[in-house]
Structure 1
Amino acid sequence: MAASASGGRDWYAALPLPWRTDSLGYVLRSIGAAALALGLGLYLQLDSPFSAASTVLLLINPVQGAVVGKGWWRAVGTLIGTLAAFVLTALFAQKMLLFVVALGFWLGLCVGVMSLVRHFYATAAVVAGYTVCLALGPAMVEPEAAFEHIVTRASAVIVGVCCLSLVTVLFSRRTVSGRVRQRLVSLCAATLALVAARHAGAADGELERRRRTLAGEVYAVDDLLGVGRAESRVLSAALPAIRGGLAALFSTLMEFRFAGETHWARRLAERGLALPMADDLRLLGGQLERGELDFAGAARRLASLRGRLAAIRRGLPTDQADACREGLFMERLDEQLDDLQAALRGFAWLDGRARADVRPAAFHRHYREALRNGARAWLAMLVGGALWFLSGWDQGPTLLAVLGPYCTLLAASPFPAEGTRNFIRGTLYAIPAALLCKFLLLPLINGLPLLLLCLAFFWSFGIQATTVPRRALQGIAYLIAFNTLVATGNLARFDFGDFANQSCAWVLALCISLLVYRLLPKDLERHSASLLDHLRRETLALLRRRAGFDAHAWQARQQHRIAQLGALHGMEHPRSALALRLGFVSLQLGRESRRLWRALAGLDPAAAEARWIERALRAIAVRHRDPPLAARHARRAGARLAAAGEWRLAAILTDLAWLLRAYSQSVSSDGAQHGEKTS
């Protein structure tokens, strides 16, 4: 009996619910915005007023910034797509085959651009692509009505965006700015604790694991920034500074330990500096986390700590090898603190307390993957067009109109095929729901209030599904398919044959999308190998450094590649560990190269030491494809400088040679592991 009752409860728990207590406000806001958009579309007598409600249901999000930002850029993308639709109609209205090819080319171009840009810019790019499909699908068989279809589509989107933005701004709270600040404080406090452990000489596996975990979390904040910039003017104005601060914070975590570094950490402890400084850093992190200090105050406190370290470094003799080595160790610690201070100054823009110089925050752009995504979208349109022409099916325009969004929305996703299967499931849920609503309930309804109440009941299930991450795509597909198949308008049409044909077109379009994702699959291993190849090539570009080389932008791009590699496999994956080591060595090579160039700039060009360093740098640039041989040149120059008593310069070149050998070993290890995987 108890088992039967338990089974009954499990069955009840498995049922989809229209809302939960914690999501009731979000569901009601979304229903209200969709109802307002539909009512306004009916009042304006749009040809497809349900499209305004569909726009709302596609954009719904619990976060105000996501709604406003995506809505604005969706409107921008729609206007761009509208202009493109007019151009394509003017050029190819009487040439159906060229029309489909050009439509696919435009869609592929927009998907390629979407793959290269970030956040809401990507939204605008992809919307500009599939707006043409939605606007011109019906116009392909009725070219004389193209203008009306295009304007109607744009009007419906603008109405939907305005209604959802209005309801969201009036009935939801701004939460992203606080979350961004809290996350930045947490990251800075954890980083201060790690730097304190390094100052104290700690070096165990747990610290290394925490460092990798933190490094993986830094760039995740950028997604919050993309959402929050539409919610807060302060956050939008501070965005470049915060991104520069994130790059500096990532650089703080990417420090590389040299051989024998533990010895110099002990020497620092013997001077009575390491433990007090470590305690000060821990105290600073605690005060920042408890809110006793803001970012600007923490940056000032860190500057005073750096001053103490610099005073001790200046007091070291310059004519002793050990003292120069110890000074170089302190200099690297100071560089780590400098990166952390730059991060705090960048984050201080949130408090309006600082206007420091903004570090560049460059991002890696994967052009080959963008080309592949664009080709996939173009192929999908060609397959859909061929199926339409060969079959002569009257739902060909619907097929292309549905295919446009579904073959593009998931193009940049790591697992687009799985996402498309979720779209199919959501559509299969929507078809019987739309059948029930359109043919059994709507004929019994009279008046707008009852119509909205009936639709709201069906909408609520899909809206609630969007609050569950694993069902979000199913919920979106359900909402859009249901709303389009019911096709609420000023004139009710109950044509079961047309409904069945449209339902088949929806499912077939999704199957074509799944097919092209199978034909041109998203290969994470290939993407990972491409990122590693970019890491190696950019490291070689560093070694053959030429005029116009932007070291800070180079470092920011390398850091973004490292973060992407960690996100692909997880920071604890063996492949990620090797990739991270390669990235660490690459970044440290950049730091040591900049240190050597700065030292060279301070020497007399006619001095023998300057000539030896220039000769070594030229040899490294020539032999950049052979790091062990380049390391030999650096070591030889270091030996000459040591014989001349230039211990600091000799130490820099010796460490540079050690890094070149470490880089060569990392490349060999990664190549061997990749070879084992492919075999």
Structure 2
Amino acid sequence: MKFLANLITNRKERDLVVVQAAWREWLSEDAPIIAYIFKVLLACLLAMWLSLRFELDQPRTAMMTVAIVMQFRSGMVFAKSYYRFLGTSVGILVSFLLVALFAQERVLFLVCMGVWIGLCTAGSMIFRNYQSYAFVLAGYTLCIVGLPSTITPELTFNIGVTRISEILIGLICATLVSDLIFPQRMWNVMLAAVRRRFKDFSDLLQSTAVQPVASTTSTPTLLRFLGDIFSLETFQASAGMENDKSRLHRQKLSRMNHEFMEVSTSFHAFEQLLRRQHNIAQPQVSVALQRVYQSLGAAIMVEGRSAQTEQEAKVVSRQLSVFRNQFSANIHAERAQLTHDIGTSERLDFETGCELLQRLTDELYVYTSTYASLAVAQSSEVAPTETAPKLEMHFDPLAVTLAGIRGTLSLAILSALWILTDWRSGVEAITLGVISSTLFATTPSPTRTIKNFMIGAIIGTLLAYFCNFHLLTQAHGFWMLAVAVAPGIIIAAWFTTRPATAIVGAGVFMVYLMHIGFNSAYNSNPVTFINDAIADLLAVLISGIMYGLIDLSGSRWSRQRIAKSLRNLVVVACRDTVSLRRGRLETGARELVQRAGSAQRVGDKEDRVVIEWLLSTLEIGHAVIALREYMQVVEHPYISNLLSMSLESVAQLYDAPSEANRLQAVNTINHAIAEISLAYIDLGLSQSSQHQITVMLHFIRSALLDEESVLVSGTQTTLEKY
């Protein structure tokens, strides 16, 4: 009986544990989605009620504003609302100006409108985050306010004031509901992202330290880190609107982003060096460096695992400090174990590996210390002594220009259709066509995005038809009206909760709310509805065709331009009178790839070539910048000339990759190493400076000699052919 009682008790305890685990999983995964859908519905209904109370013309505009700006996190809602208001205000002012100038000249109005749309689309390609969104809003608001005003110019001011009032109601409702009901702060998602990134990088470093370097590749993980860097930057931009920890630690997180870019690049450079040594069969050098590297891998572990929180990162920081203090002694011991029969090149490989490993250790210590400082209470927090550099904007001017032309052409085609056919729904078609032509210009794959948006538009049309002619006809009073429109809002909001269907949800929201058959009073004509639905679908179709014709993101020509832009960063680092700093090189290279969308398409063979150029640019670019810093202590003109010739040969190689230029660069660097090694004392160079310069020259040479590098002529031929 006692055994049976224990069995029943244990079973109950196990069932209780299972129920508790399921409950926690539901709270962490399903509950936020349900809360978000509820908040979207509540904010939309509140915006509809206020619009009706104030007797505004189009309550659906306020509801559409809510649908557009609502996000999971309150800070993102604040940021998007702020920039939407700015963009809308500018668009309305431009509408007033153009209507005042060309109220009676539709063609001139449309020409000026096309120029404005092109400029706004180009601006959205240049800027990031919600600043980009503000340019999009400034563009298509001109369609929403300006086009109706060309039909009734005397009502221009009333139309503009009414639209901005409806949009303000939507923004207020979205921000209030997001901030007061089940608020989700940016700090939680930012801290989770920082913790995950530190843990994943620690696991990556530790795994490469204990496994043979040839058996694993870290490229996919490093590319995921590339996306994380810009995602965290987006989070920080939104966090400025919140008055909590995310705002207090904003500067510190920015420094962490910059420090992580440096440490990830140093890690890649060291990993590539180990791989090259493994491939050319240098067991003594590889084993010696691997032993020190394994000690570093152990130093970032806490009880055999990676740090999970910033409190545990404090422990890692102390362990890294001890490792740094013992680094010179460990290297000296490994250097003493190397036999005397290894060649000069092998010893330079070892010294180069030591230099890279020390740089990796120092940068990892700084990054870990900054991460651990997040655990410090605000009252005892010390103000940072160094401000992290801002991420500069890097983009392809031709891609920006073509995006502006694409937006203008979409407007021109739809405007011509409107004028030539005197189509009643022409304004509707132009509005949605401009929105879809500008809104998705910055996505990694606009053509694929517009296809998903088209699917959402079709679903939204069907939902609007069902709502207009089956539900709204039975609605009497506000609550019945709310019941009628709620199913479409819930379905659209559910689509937006999943990344794979978020664009579909955006299409459902936009078309559904544009076609809801009530303004201040119910008015839905089947003929008008069908005309408007055809106009919307035709507008999205034309936008899709324009993206297909002028979409650089997936073209071979675009990839060649991105590769050329990446190589040009190395050329600039070699030739500019002012040395390109590491931060600028990092952000320039990473943002070029991020904007091109290659980081999201790393599985594609063609985009892999762009990624290889990215890694080569960072690897050689950092070495070139370090070499130029060492050159500042060189006073003898002969050594300066040798180093300048070496840098110029590297610049020529990256400016025009070829086998001949690669061999020329290797020979020039070999000559510089030989001359500096033999006569550095006679040339007035200290042993320390000679060591640093020789090691960095050797690192560049070994990277150029790597047969698996993208610089090899066979890989370059592949780039030109695909």
Fold in common (TM above 0.5): yes
Deviation (angstroms), 1:378: 0.5
Structure 2 distance, partners of 1:457, 1:303, is 59
Question: Taking structure 1 as reference, are residues 221 and 652 closer, same or farther at Cα in structure 2, changes over 3 Å only?
Answer: closer
Backbone CA RMSD of aligned residues: 3.3
Structure 1 distance, partners of 2:229, 2:348, is 39
Residue 331 (structure 1) aligned with residue 355 (structure 2) = yes
Residue 132 (structure 1) aligned with residue 177 (structure 2) = no
Q: Which shifted more, 585-594 or 623-632?
A: 623-632
Deviation readout 1:80-130 (Å, 9 max, x if unpaired): 212222222222222210111111221121111111221111111111111
Question: Taking structure 1 as reference, are residues 341 and 564 closer, same or farther at Cα in structure 2, changes over 3 Å only?
Answer: farther
Deviation (angstroms), 1:658: 3.4
Residue 590 (structure 1) aligned with residue 621 (structure 2) = yes
Q: Could you say which residue in structure 2 is the equivalent of 1:343?
A: 367
Structure 2 distance, partners of 1:460, 1:580, is 40
Q: Could you say which residue in structure 1 is the equivalent of 2:88?
A: 78
Question: Taking structure 1 as reference, are residues 601 and 121 closer, same or farther at Cα in structure 2, changes over 3 Å only?
Answer: same
Question: Taking structure 1 as reference, are residues 661 and 323 closer, same or farther at Cα in structure 2, changes over 3 Å only?
Answer: closer
Q: Could you say which residue in structure 2 is the equivalent of 1:16?
A: none
Q: Contact 1:53–1:160 at 8 Å: present in 2 too?
A: yes
Structure 1 distance, partners of 2:304, 2:197, is 10
Q: Could you say which residue in structure 2 is the equivalent of 1:453?
A: 483
Q: Could you say which residue in structure 1 is the equivalent of 2:670?
A: 635
Give the letter for the 1:242 counterpart. Answer: M
Deviation readout 1:202-252 (Å, 9 max, x if unpaired): 41322x2x4532442343353254245245323544453233133224324
Structure 2 distance, partners of 1:578, 1:499, is 49
Residue 216 (structure 1) aligned with residue 216 (structure 2) = no
Q: Could you say which residue in structure 1 is the equivalent of 2:19?
A: none
Residue 41 (structure 1) aligned with residue 51 (structure 2) = yes
Q: Which shifted more, 113-122 or 607-616?
A: 607-616
Give the letter for the 1:332 counterpart. Answer: L
Deviation readout 1:584-627 (Å, 9 max, x if unpaired): 33323223323333433334x14865564456556666787534
Structure 1 distance, partners of 2:487, 2:362, is 57
Question: Taking structure 1 as reference, are residues 510 and 598 closer, same or farther at Cα in structure 2, changes over 3 Å only?
Answer: closer
Residue 289 (structure 1) aligned with residue 297 (structure 2) = no
Give the letter for the 1:28 counterpart. Answer: F
Question: Taking structure 1 as reference, are residues 565 and 266 closer, same or farther at Cα in structure 2, changes over 3 Å only?
Answer: farther
Q: Contact 2:653–2:662 at 8 Å: present in 1 too?
A: yes
Structure 1 distance, partners of 2:32, 2:162, is 37
Q: Which shifted more, 360-369 or 83-92?
A: 360-369
Q: Contact 1:213–1:571 at 8 Å: present in 2 too?
A: no
**Aligned match for 1:309, one of 301, 324, 327:** 327
Q: Which runs of 5+ in 1 are unaligned?
A: 1-19
Q: Could you say which residue in structure 2 is the equivalent of 1:674?
A: 719
Q: Could you say which residue in structure 1 is the equivalent of 2:256?
A: 242
Deviation (angstroms), 1:557: 1.5
Q: Could you say which residue in structure 1 is the equivalent of 2:702?
A: 658
Q: Could you say which residue in structure 1 is the equivalent of 2:683?
A: none
Q: Contact 1:111–1:377 at 8 Å: present in 2 too?
A: yes
Question: Taking structure 1 as reference, are residues 32 and 300 closer, same or farther at Cα in structure 2, changes over 3 Å only?
Answer: same
Question: Taking structure 1 as reference, are residues 634 and 166 closer, same or farther at Cα in structure 2, changes over 3 Å only?
Answer: same
Question: Taking structure 1 as reference, are residues 667 and 123 closer, same or farther at Cα in structure 2, changes over 3 Å only?
Answer: farther
Question: Taking structure 1 as reference, are residues 307 and 661 closer, same or farther at Cα in structure 2, changes over 3 Å only?
Answer: same
Structure 1 distance, partners of 2:370, 2:288, is 33
Question: Taking structure 1 as reference, are residues 571 and 502 closer, same or farther at Cα in structure 2, changes over 3 Å only?
Answer: closer
Q: Contact 2:96–2:157 at 8 Å: present in 1 too?
A: yes
Q: Could you say which residue in structure 1 is the equivalent of 2:518?
A: 488
Q: Could you say which residue in structure 2 is the equivalent of 1:462?
A: 492
Q: Contact 1:23–1:467 at 8 Å: present in 2 too?
A: yes
Give the letter for the 2:586 counterpart. Answer: Q
Structure 1 distance, partners of 2:294, 2:504, is 55
How many residue pairs align between the two structures?
A: 651
Residue 438 (structure 1) aligned with residue 465 (structure 2) = no
Residue 357 (structure 1) aligned with residue 386 (structure 2) = yes
**SS in structure 2 at match of 1:216:** helix
Structure 2 distance, partners of 1:574, 1:418, is 18
Give the letter for the 2:436 counterpart. Answer: Y
Q: Could you say which residue in structure 2 is the equivalent of 1:477?
A: 507
State the identity %: 21
**SS in structure 2 at match of 1:219:** helix
Structure 1 distance, partners of 2:164, 2:227, is 35
* Bigger relative contact order (CA 8 A; separation at least 6): 1
Deviation (angstroms), 1:553: 0.8
Give the letter for the 2:484 counterpart. Answer: C
Question: Taking structure 1 as reference, are residues 448 and 608 closer, same or farther at Cα in structure 2, changes over 3 Å only?
Answer: closer
Residue 278 (structure 1) aligned with residue 278 (structure 2) = no
**Aligned match for 2:567, one of 533, 536, 539:** 536
Residue 32 (structure 1) aligned with residue 42 (structure 2) = yes
Q: Contact 1:313–1:327 at 8 Å: present in 2 too?
A: no
Deviation (angstroms), 1:137: 2.0
TM-score (norm 1): 0.86
Question: Taking structure 1 as reference, are residues 263 and 128 closer, same or farther at Cα in structure 2, changes over 3 Å only?
Answer: farther
Structure 2 distance, partners of 1:552, 1:22, is 37
Q: Contact 1:111–1:374 at 8 Å: present in 2 too?
A: yes
Q: Could you say which residue in structure 2 is the equivalent of 1:8?
A: none
Question: Taking structure 1 as reference, are residues 217 and 382 closer, same or farther at Cα in structure 2, changes over 3 Å only?
Answer: same
